[in-house]
A and B are shown apart, each in its own frame.
Chain A
Amino acid sequence: MVPPVQVSPLIKLGRYSALFLGVAYGAKRYSYLKPRAEEERRMAAEEKKKQDERKRMERELAEAQDDSILK
Chain B
Amino acid sequence: MARFVRNLAEKAPALVNAAVTYSKPRLATFWHYAKVELVPPTPDEIPTAIQSLEKIVKSAQTGSFKQLTVKEALLNGLVATEVWMWFYVGEIIGKRGLIGYNV
Contact = CB atoms under 8 A, between A and B. Distances in A.
- Most chain A CB within 10 A, of B39, B83, B86, B94, is at B94
A19 B52 contact: no
A38 B103 CA distance: 8
A13 B88 CA distance: 16
Given A4-B37, A9-B45, A30-B103, A14 B95 contact: no
- The size bracket of the interface on B is 20 to 34
B49 A30 contact: no
Interface string B46-70: 1011001100000000000000000
Contacts, number: 97
Interface residues of A, number: 32
Interface string B71-103: 000000001001110111111111110000101
B95 to A, nearest CB: 4
Q: Chain A at the B interface: mostly helix, strand, loop or mixed?
A: helix
B52 A9 contact: yes
- Most chain B CB within 10 A, of A5, A25, A37, is at A25
B1 to A, nearest CB: 36
Interface of B: 29, 32-33, 35-37, 39-41, 45-46, 48-49, 52-53, 79, 82-84, 86-96, 101, 103
Interface of A: 1, 4-16, 18-30, 33-34, 36-38
